[in-house]
């Protein structure tokens, strides 16, 4: 992600909030009641015909009827390049009978991790849902040589599909594995709380920090009540606020190298964050209080 001026960051954050909805293209997938089988895809949120709290799914066989592409992938599928059959998230969303206003997809994983895909990210970087690796479905995963199982689904990106995607800040947050459900939503419904209350009137730095939080930190850290966020960290934004507000140096070091301060820390290191970016995060996290 390129560094931007304070004014430019403010404009980008506003564009994120107002990003256009992802259009429907026929709604060809059938959404079925219940959780489905172990390799079906649970869906929730702004899906037509699915009530809040109701379990629903798309059968794996139906997913295989969508327009599929073949992409070479590596990384979290092992060191050897593998040939994957995939469906682009944009095509998946378009094929689902979704309600108007969908502009974000949330992918939940078995460990409480949550990846956030805005309409802008989907249009620019073309993330995809992996259905097969080297011709083998998730019922026969993990792939040879991989110590963990990425089943039932994984989402990935590729330089071959979207040149430059590897330079996106925290791109690993857009490459989850062990994905067990997706939720179609809107920025307003999922993250509207970050534009209200103590976050209603932010400095340009805090606006940039909000974008960083939503696209990266929210994958592991829960938000306040009613705001989306992962639960993997077991630490909400309010917990992080206490740390960030109390000690700038500790906060910066912890983000960059967590185990250097707390050997048992679960958080992955983020050494690439600049002082400017970390100050932007602190400005957002501690909005309405001392920094």
- Which tens digit of pLDDT belongs to each residue from 205-225? 999 999 999 999 999 999 999
State the DSSP code for 287. Answer: T
pLDDT at position 21 is 57
d(CA 135, CA 128): 16
Contacts of 183 (CB under 8 A, 6+ apart): 43, 44, 45, 105, 106, 107, 108
Structure tokens at 179: 């994905």
Query: How large a percentage of the chain has pLDDT more than 70?
Result: 90
Beta-carbon contacts of 256 under 8 Å, excluding residues fewer than 6 positions away, are 269, 270, 271, 273
217 lies in which domain range? 191-285
Least confident of 11-20, 81-90, 122-131, 153-162: 11-20
Q: How far apart are CA 140 and CA 124, in angstroms?
A: 32
How many distinct structural domains can be found in the chain? 2
Task: State pLDDT tens for residues 112-149.
Answer: 999 999 999 999 999 999 999 999 999 999 988 888 99
> Mean pLDDT, to the nearest integer, of 44-73?
93
Same domain, 43 and 146: yes
The structure tokens listed for 158 are: 């590729």
For residue 20, the model assigns a pLDDT of 58
Residue 76 or residue 207, greater confidence: 207
**CB proximity list for 61: less than 8 A, separation 6 or greater:** none
**Alpha-carbon gap, residue 147 to 272, rounded angstroms:** 27
Distance from chain centroid for Cα 115: 2
pLDDT for residue 75:
77
Based on the fold, state whether residues 87 and 211 are members of the same structural domain.
Answer: no
Instruction: Based on the fold, state whether residues 225 and 161 are members of the same structural domain.
Output: no
**Domain co-membership, 232 together with 248:** yes
| C-alpha count within 13 angstroms, C-beta hemisphere, residue 143 | 24
Higher-scoring residue by pLDDT: 99, 251: 251
Same domain, yes or no, for 230 and 257? yes
Q: Does residue 12 surpass a pLDDT of 70?
A: no
Q: Which residue has the higher pLDDT, 9 or 35?
A: 35
Average pLDDT, whole number, for the chain?
90
> pTM here?
0.89
User: Would you say the C-alpha torsion 118, 23, 133, 164 has a positive or negative sign?
Assistant: negative
Question: Which of 125, 159, 185 is the C-terminal boundary of a domain?
Answer: 185
pLDDT attached to residue 16: 42
Whether residues 88 and 39 share a domain: the answer is yes
| Same domain, residue pair 147 and 261 | no
């Amino acid at each position: 992600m390129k560094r931007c001026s304070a004014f430019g960051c403010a404009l980008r954050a506003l564009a994120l909030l107002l990003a256009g909805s992802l259009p429907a293209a026929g709604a060809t997938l059938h959404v079925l009641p219940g959780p489905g089988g172990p390799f079906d895809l649970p869906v929730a949120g702004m899906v037509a015909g699915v009530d809040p709290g109701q379990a629903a799914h798309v059968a794996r066989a139906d997913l295989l009827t969508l327009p599929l592409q073949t992409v070479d992938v590596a990384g979290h599928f092992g060191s050897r390049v593998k040939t994957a059959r995939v469906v682009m998230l944009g095509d998946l969303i378009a094929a689902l009978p979704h309600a108007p206003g969908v502009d974000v997809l949330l992918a939940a994983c078995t460990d409480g991790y949550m990846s956030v895909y805005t309409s802008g990210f989907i249009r620019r970087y073309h993330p995809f849902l992996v259905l097969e690796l080297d011709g083998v479905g998730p019922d026969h995963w993990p792939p040879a040589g991989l110590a963990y199982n990425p089943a039932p689904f994984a989402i990935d990106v590729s330089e071959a599909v979207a040149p430059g995607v590897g330079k996106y800040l925290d791109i690993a947050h857009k490459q989850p594995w062990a994905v067990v459900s997706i939720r179609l939503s809107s920025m307003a419904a999922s993250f509207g709380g970050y534009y209200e209350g103590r976050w209603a009137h932010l400095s340009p730095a805090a606006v940039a920090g909000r974008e960083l939080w939503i696209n990266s930190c929210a994958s592991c850290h829960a938000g306040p009540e009613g705001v989306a966020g992962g639960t993997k960290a077991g630490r909400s934004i309010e917990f992080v606020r206490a740390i960030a507000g109390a000690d700038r140096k500790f906060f910066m070091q912890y983000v960059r190298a967590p185990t250097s301060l707390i050997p048992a820390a679960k958080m992955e290191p983020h050494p690439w964050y600049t002082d400017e970016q970390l100050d932007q995060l602190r400005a957002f996290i501690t909005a309405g209080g001392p920094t």
